[in-house]
């Protein structure tokens, strides 16, 4: 039942005085708006929460916004049981709804 | 919607609304108002129902209504007045909690609780409830609300542990958890909370109020659905969100493309070790109608509790909201134009298990930082910085008054600092940071329900940053407790680095904490915030020789090396006095109308000395009439000194009385009848 242990619940204290965001450039990616090759993929928060953006560093054109994958480690914290199936107790009301036992809504 | 569509056309005509949303404009606006109305009923219910003073008086709560998008994300369509930061945080929190829990696992009558800052909450004391609303068996909307509990357990009563080096020293952390299932309270969750806090009766009252508030919100939302049908209400939600987005993008389009940056300093991390200041740095890059805010260059997370863990990614949007589109009701549409970069491990993206118990001061300074940055974009709207400190005093203990059976008590007061001067007028007095906008306590309730006595609250003389338009006046507050088992926590900053003025304005007064004994007459004497220094113990702040409050003098003379003090014992017979910091002044004080300076002197807000030193206005001591010729001469001389010569001094009263006799003389002088002017 338990998948691989991805430790995003405890970290050491950072060993730098100031912290800067990583903005790795995406190889061979060209900005459709200004044709720059300075297109970076990095961690952001947009209005919906944690996301990964593909943004041109030259003209700030946002090429794509996607949900972070596990490998993106974003946001920094993630629950250990994030991907575990919900227990019957946690979805009792939903189970009732799905079986038509309760008047809808 | 692509930003270029907005560049040419921000406004929608009624036919456009009909075409885009399938609603006539009147119906679209009625639904928009109906969503806000639902949130207003939620607000009223929570204020009436909550047990804790921090909810019903301080207004430290949030209530909001969210629309569920087809992809399972949610967008906050309505929120109403409470503590400002919830208007930003709940948009993220609802998404983060529902992503983790899984929409497919929720049924009617379920309510989730969460207080975790790594999942969008602000701090452990905030209990956030999230409730899905099903229509015809489909999840259509989500309601959320939050309030600050009086206590959340952990080592420090009230939950603000400034010395905590990890979250394990804070209080109870609640990951997303069912608190009702099918509208029935989940006993294990209720017990988990009540058995971990010092004020369980208040906690249960508040949780019930939060739950009832969601039920009320749901009822009003269903009335809207009954009137218009779910499809049209959801179209109205899309209209509501797009309208806020359009307005914000229109405002951004007026900002020249480019990068705007600034930095602010916090006193310290709260560890009480005279540590280094903490620096927050940010830039905002504007391109078209898109803005990217980046906190790169900010100090790494603090060793003690002055850090935040996610919330600055959304709270920072208070800057653009206040500066660019302050009048339109807030919703998630106004957040769409922004991306925020907050590097992990920094002061604004602390990694677990860091403590963020003093998140408040990062929040207040973060708001100042954003107002600085966005003020550069539209110089006409720039205002001088506010106090940059929460200014809250948190009290807890057991009530040893006769008949109170040593029952636990607790609460929060937010007496307010001040806002900076503006291009058109003086700053607001006794007001908290725009990211909080909380209210002061009802004093009668405080003194009835707890052993705390408010011994004084007023403006502090000479505290306002000088300027053509000065800052507002911050409060000084004095508390006594009638129970020996009383501890206080202080959410304070701006002790070492006064809030600067803007465009020639002067810095405001910094923050001070002092203590003194109740005198033989059973009280204490003060005049406009001034105390006899020989009787005062300096607790924290920058004190000069003989305990004279002196901006920039260093921590040395105070008992503590920080203003972020937790669990400070307030014994019977003592009075603790907290001086809030002021904002900065706007424009040169030499350009202030001398008549306005005279009025401030007449009202005992500005001393004759500071009128002279800070404003170059000469006022005759007896009559309080401005000597216009002398004023013109002095101002010309000061202006002539140029940039290297004269700058407005930091606001503070220069020569505090030493003895009670000195203080009595000051009061007597102020009250004598020599005045020939009348204040108009
Ligand atoms: Zn580009």
* CB-CB contact of A68 with A50 (8 Å): yes
Tell me whether B182 touches chain A (CB under 8 Å). Answer: yes
B269 in helix, strand or coil?
coil
A93 in helix, strand or coil?
helix
Omega into A46 within 30° of 0, i.e. cis? no
Please, which residues have CB within 8 angstroms of residue B128's CB and are 6 or more apart in sequence? B90, B93, B97, B113, B114, B115, B121, B144, B145, B146
Instruction: State the pLDDT at residue B56.
Output: 87
Extents of the domains making up chain A = 2-11+20-98
> What's the 3-state SS for B127-157?
EEEEEEEEECCEEEEEEEEEEECCCCCCCCC
Helix (H), strand (E) at residue B448: helix B443-449
Tell me whether A92 touches chain B (CB under 8 Å). Answer: yes
Q: Are strands B126-135 and B138-148 parallel, antiparallel or unpaired?
A: antiparallel
Instruction: State the pLDDT at residue B2.
Output: 46
In the predicted model, residues of chain B with pLDDT beneath 70 are: 1-9, 642-643, 672-680
Tell me whether B346 touches chain A (CB under 8 Å). Answer: yes
Using one digit for the tens of pLDDT, what is the confidence trace for B653-672?
Answer: 999 999 999 999 988 887 76
B195 in helix, strand or coil?
coil
Report chain A's mean pLDDT, rounded to a whole number: 92
* CB-CB contact of B277 with B496 (8 Å): yes
Quote the Cα angle for A85-A87-A88, to 5°: 130
A interface mutation test: which of B74, B77, B343 has the most A CBs within 10 A?
Answer: B343
CA distance B1 to A99: 39
Q: How close does chain A come to B300, measured CA to CA in Å?
A: 5
Q: Ligand 1 centre from A56 Cα, in Å?
A: 5
Using one digit for the tens of pLDDT, what is the confidence trace for B348-369?
Answer: 999 999 999 999 999 999 999 9
Tell me whether B345 touches chain A (CB under 8 Å). Answer: yes
- Residues B292, A55: C-beta atoms closer than 8 Å: yes
Instruction: State the pLDDT at residue B677.
Output: 59
ipTM summary value: 0.95
CA distance B481 to A95: 53
* CB-CB contact of B409 with B398 (8 Å): yes
* CB-CB contact of B119 with B176 (8 Å): yes
**Beta strand spans in B505-654 (E):** 512-517, 536-540, 568-569, 574-579
Tell me whether B338 touches chain A (CB under 8 Å). Answer: yes
* CB-CB contact of B415 with B391 (8 Å): yes
| Residues in a beta bridge with B281 | B263
Tally the residues of chain B.
680
Judging contacts by C-beta atoms under 8 Å, the chain B residues touching residue A14 are 300-301, 345-346, 351
pTM: predicted TM-score of the whole model, two decimal places = 0.96
CA distance B200 to A32: 58
A75 in helix, strand or coil?
coil
């Amino acid at each position: 039942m338990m998948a691989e242990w991805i430790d995003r619940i405890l970290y050491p204290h950072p060993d730098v005085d100031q912290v800067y965001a990583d903005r790795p450039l995406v190889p061979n990616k060209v900005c459709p708006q200004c044709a720059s090759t300075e297109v970076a993929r990095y961690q952001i928060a947009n209005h919906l929460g944690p996301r990964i953006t593909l943004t041109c560093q030259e003209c700030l054109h946002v090429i794509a916004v996607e949900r972070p994958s596990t490998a993106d480690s974003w946001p920094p914290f993630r629950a250990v049981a994030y991907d575990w199936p919900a227990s019957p107790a946690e979805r009792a009301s939903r189970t009732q709804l799905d079986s038509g036992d309760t008047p809808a809504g | 919607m692509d930003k270029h569509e907005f560049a040419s056309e921000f406004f929608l005509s009624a036919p456009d609304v009909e075409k885009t949303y399938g609603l006539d404009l009147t119906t679209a606006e009625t639904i928009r108002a109906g969503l806000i109305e639902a949130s207003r009923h939620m607000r009223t219910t929570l204020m009436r129902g909550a047990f804790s003073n921090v909810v019903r008086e301080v207004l430290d709560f949030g209530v909001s209504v969210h629309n569920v998008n087809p992809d399972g994300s949610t967008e906050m369509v309505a929120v109403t007045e409470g503590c400002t930061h919830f208007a930003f945080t709940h948009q993220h929190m609802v998404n983060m909690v529902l992503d983790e829990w899984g929409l497919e696992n929720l049924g009617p009558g379920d309510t989730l609780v969460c207080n975790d800052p790594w999942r969008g909450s602000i701090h452990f004391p905030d209990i956030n409830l999230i409730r899905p609303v099903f229509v015809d068996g489909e999840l259509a909307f989500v309601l959320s609300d939050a309030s600050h509990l009086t206590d959340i357990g952990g080592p420090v009563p009230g939950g603000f542990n400034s010395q905590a080096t990890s979250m394990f020293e804070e209080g109870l952390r609640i990951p997303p958890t069912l608190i009702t299932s099918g509208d029935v309270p989940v006993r294990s969750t209720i017990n988990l909370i009540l058995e971990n806090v010092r004020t369980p009766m208040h906690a249960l009252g508040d949780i019930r109020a939060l739950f009832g508030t969601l039920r009320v919100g749901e009822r009003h939302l269903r009335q809207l659905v009954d009137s218009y049908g779910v499809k049209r209400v959801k179209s109205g939600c899309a209209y509501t969100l797009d309208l806020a987005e359009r307005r914000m993008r229109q405002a951004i389009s007026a900002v020249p493309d480019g990068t705007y940056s600034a930095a602010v300093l916090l006193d310290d991390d709260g560890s009480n070790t005279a540590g280094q200041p903490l620096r927050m740095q940010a830039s905002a890059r504007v391109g078209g109608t898109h803005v990217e805010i980046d906190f790169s260059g900010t100090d790494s997370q603090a060793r003690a509790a002055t850090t935040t863990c996610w919330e600055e990614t959304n709270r920072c949007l208070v800057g653009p909201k206040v500066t660019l589109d302050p009048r339109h009701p807030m919703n998630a549409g106004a957040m769409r134009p922004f991306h925020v970069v907050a590097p992990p491990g920094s002061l604004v993206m602390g990694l677990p298990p860091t403590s963020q118990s003093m998140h408040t001061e990062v929040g207040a300074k973060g708001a100042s930082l954003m107002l600085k940055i966005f003020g550069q974009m539209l110089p006409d709207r720039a205002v001088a910085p506010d106090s940059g400190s929460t200014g809250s005093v948190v009290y807890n203990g057991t009530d040893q008054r006769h008949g109170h059976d040593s029952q636990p008590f607790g609460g929060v007061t937010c007496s307010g600092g001040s806002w900076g001067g503006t291009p058109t007028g003086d700053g607001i007095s006794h007001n908290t940071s725009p990211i909080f906008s909380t209210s002061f306590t009802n004093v009668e309730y405080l003194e009835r329900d707890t052993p705390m006595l408010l011994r004084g609250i007023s403006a502090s003389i000479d505290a306002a940053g000088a300027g053509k338009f000065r800052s507002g006046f911050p409060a000084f507050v004095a508390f006594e407790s009638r129970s020996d088992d009383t501890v206080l926590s202080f959410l304070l900053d701006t002790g070492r680095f006064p809030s600067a003025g803007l465009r020639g304005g002067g810095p405001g007064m910094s923050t001070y904490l002092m203590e003194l004994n109740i005198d033989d007459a059973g009280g204490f004497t003060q005049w406009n915030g001034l105390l006899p220094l020989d009787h005062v113990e300096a607790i924290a702040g920058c004190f000069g020789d003989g305990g004279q409050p002196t901006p920039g003098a260093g921590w040395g003379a105070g008992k503590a090396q920080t203003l972020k003090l937790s669990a400070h014992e307030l014994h019977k017979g003592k009075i603790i006095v907290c001086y809030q910091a002021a904002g900065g002044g706007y424009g040169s004080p030499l350009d202030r109308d001398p008549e306005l300076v005279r009025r401030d002197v007449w009202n005992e807000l500005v001393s004759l000395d500071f009128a002279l030193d800070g404003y170059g206005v000469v006022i005759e001591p007896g009559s309080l009439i401005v000597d216009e010729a002398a004023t013109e001469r002095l101002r010309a001389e000061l202006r002539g000194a140029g940039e290297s010569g004269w700058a407005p001094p930091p606001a503070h009263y220069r020569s505090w009385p030493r003895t009670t006799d000195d203080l009595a003389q000051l009061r007597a002088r102020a009250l004598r009848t020599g005045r020939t002017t009348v204040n108009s």
